[in-house]
């Protein structure tokens, strides 16, 4: 029995469906991310779990209890809002204490719990400041402390890091992950940032247009995307179209530009084309003769730790990243070969239309 379970959760606003048939099982102590572009229904799903949005259909079970129609202030769920939503007229310590006050926790215990959680987020020095006297990262920590101090059964994070600058975001990612593992709270995070979702979560739920597209651990979501949307949204990818040729045994010949691949098709195909996904970092630039595909470098960007090339090849335009090994790479206009190891190719399942 999972700890938090969503069954066919659906929310319609008039004729538009914000979230459709969301079914998800989350284990106790798990860190799960809802990942998707804006308008994919991830925030609506979060709001339904929090109780701010009434589901049109479906059920929410928390620890075996049906909380679908319970009021938000009776669910006891901890929430970190995107805007942090701190109480501007209260000091840090009063913000954190608010939830305990509402629960009528005795003063001595309250003092101890607030002290502990402030230490956990490294804010014990700033407890008498007001929110507007804090930096973005510090406000973020207050919001986290305020949500954690009530020892919630479930912690919801709504785009928690999106208002921070890049450097701080990375630091907070590590810290957030550490705190979650220390406290062990079942956590559901909503984000549109794939790197955030991959780095923090035990499992990633990829959503698109109100539906769950794929539920997987971060490695599998990246390496084995179920369709073209997942492969392009979770990380960057090259989507190519191959023509199906002759089949010999279990190997099918697939023509990709001037290259021919021998691959195993996972099932019968109705069209004579397949979609292929290759990650930019799995492509390799070689000299003209030894590559599987021929191409010419169109643009080149230096990104510090790696180079990003845009190559015109016979199979179409390819993005290729190469690690910066301290040497100048090939230049714009050079003829190059493009190569890859056999495991790098991912055949995408056929979209069932209709």
Partner 1 sequence: MAELASMLPTTTPRFLPKSLIPWLLSAPGAIFFLMLLGMPLLMILVLSFNSFDYAEGIIATFSFANYMEVIKDDYFHEIFFRTYAISIAVVVLCIAIGVPEAYILSRMRSPWRSLFLVVTLTPLLISVVVRTLGWVLLIGGNGLLGKALEALGIADASAGNLMYTHTGIILALVHVLVPFMVISVWAALQKLDPSVEHAALSLGASHPTVFRRVVVPQIMPGMLSGSLIVFALAASAFATPAILGGRRLKVAATAAYDEYLNTMNWPLGAAIAVILLVANVVVVMSYNRMMERRFRRTLG
Residues that bind partner 1 (CB under 8 A): 50-52, 72-79, 81-83, 85-89, 98-99, 102-103, 130, 132-133, 146-147, 150
Tokens 């719990």 identify what position?
Answer: 113
Q: How far is the CB of 16 from partner 1 (least distance, A)?
A: 17
**CA–CA separation, 265 vs 249, rounded Å?**
11
Q: How far is the CB of 202 from partner 1 (least distance, A)?
A: 23
Q: How far is the CB of 79 from partner 1 (least distance, A)?
A: 5
**CA–CA separation, 266 vs 247, rounded Å?**
13
| Contact between residue 7 and residue 59 where contact means Cβ atoms under 8 Å apart | yes
Nearer to partner 1, 116 or 217 (CB): 116
Q: How far is the CB of 72 from partner 1 (least distance, A)?
A: 5
Nearer to partner 1, 157 or 221 (CB): 157
Nearer to partner 1, 76 or 245 (CB): 76
Burial of 71 (0-12, 13-18, 19+ CB in 10 A): exposed
Q: How far apart are the first and last CA of the chain?
A: 35
3-state secondary structure 197-243: HHHHCCEEEEEECCEEEEEECHHHHHHCCCCHHHHHHCCCCEEEEEE
Q: How far is the CB of 105 from partner 1 (least distance, A)?
A: 11
Tokens 């079914």 identify what position?
Answer: 23
Nearer to partner 1, 189 or 345 (CB): 189
Q: How far is the CB of 167 from partner 1 (least distance, A)?
A: 26
Q: How far is the CB of 106 from partner 1 (least distance, A)?
A: 16
**CA–CA separation, 1 vs 59, rounded Å?**
15
**CA–CA separation, 8 vs 136, rounded Å?**
37
Q: How far is the CB of 149 from partner 1 (least distance, A)?
A: 9
**DSSP-derived 3-state class of residue 187:** strand
Nearer to partner 1, 78 or 242 (CB): 78
Contacts of 329 (CB under 8 A, 6+ apart): 285, 300, 307, 309, 322
Nearer to partner 1, 84 or 222 (CB): 84
Nearer to partner 1, 47 or 201 (CB): 47
Host H or E run for residue 49: helix 42-50
Nearer to partner 1, 117 or 297 (CB): 117
**CA–CA separation, 66 vs 56, rounded Å?**
15
Cβ count near 289 (within 10 Å): 8
Nearer to partner 1, 152 or 242 (CB): 152
Q: How far is the CB of 102 from partner 1 (least distance, A)?
A: 4
In terms of phi and psi (left: phi > 0; alpha: psi -120 to 50; beta: otherwise), the region of 109 is alpha
Nearer to partner 1, 114 or 347 (CB): 114
Q: How far is the CB of 88 from partner 1 (least distance, A)?
A: 6
**CA–CA separation, 207 vs 35, rounded Å?**
6
**CA–CA separation, 39 vs 189, rounded Å?**
16
């Amino acid at each position: 029995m999972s700890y938090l379970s969503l069954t066919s959760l659906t929310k319609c606003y008039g004729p538009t469906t914000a979230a459709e048939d969301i079914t998800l099982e989350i284990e106790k102590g798990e860190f799960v991310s809802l990942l998707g572009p804006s308008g994919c229904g991830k925030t609506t799903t979060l709001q339904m779990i929090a109780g701010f949005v009434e589901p049109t259909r479906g059920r929410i079970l928390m620890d075996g209890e049906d909380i679908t129609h319970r009021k938000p202030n009776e669910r006891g769920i901890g929430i970190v809002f995107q805007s942090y939503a701190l109480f501007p007229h209260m000091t840090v310590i009063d913000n954190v204490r608010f939830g305990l006050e509402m629960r009528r926790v005795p003063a001595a215990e309250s003092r101890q719990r607030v002290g502990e959680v402030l230490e956990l987020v490294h804010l014990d020095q700033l407890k008498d400041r007001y929110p507007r006297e804090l930096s973005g990262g510090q406000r973020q920590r207050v919001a986290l402390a305020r949500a954690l101090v009530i020892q919630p059964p479930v912690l919801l994070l709504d785009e928690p890091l999106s208002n921070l600058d890049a450097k701080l975001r990375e630091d907070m990612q590590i810290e957030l992950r550490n705190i979650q593992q220390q406290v062990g709270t079942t956590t559901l995070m909503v984000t549109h940032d794939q790197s955030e979702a991959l780095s923090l979560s035990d499992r990633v739920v990829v959503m698109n247009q109100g539906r769950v597209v794929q539920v997987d651990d971060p490695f599998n979501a990246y390496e084995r995307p179920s369709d073209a949307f997942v492969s392009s949204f979770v990380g960057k990818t090259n989507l190519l179209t191959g023509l199906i040729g002759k089949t010999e045994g279990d190997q099918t010949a697939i023509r990709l530009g001037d290259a021919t691949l021998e691959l195993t098709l996972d099932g019968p195909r109705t069209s004579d084309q397949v979609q292929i996904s290759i990650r930019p970092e799995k492509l390799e630039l070689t000299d003209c003769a030894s590559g599987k595909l021929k191409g010419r470098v169109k643009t080149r960007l230096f990104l510090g730790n790696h180079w990003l090339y845009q190559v015109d090849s016979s199979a179409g335009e390819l993005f290729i990243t190469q690690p910066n090994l301290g040497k100048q790479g090939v230049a714009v206009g050079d003829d190059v070969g493009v190569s890859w190891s056999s495991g790098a190719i991912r055949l995408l399942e056929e979209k069932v239309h209709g």
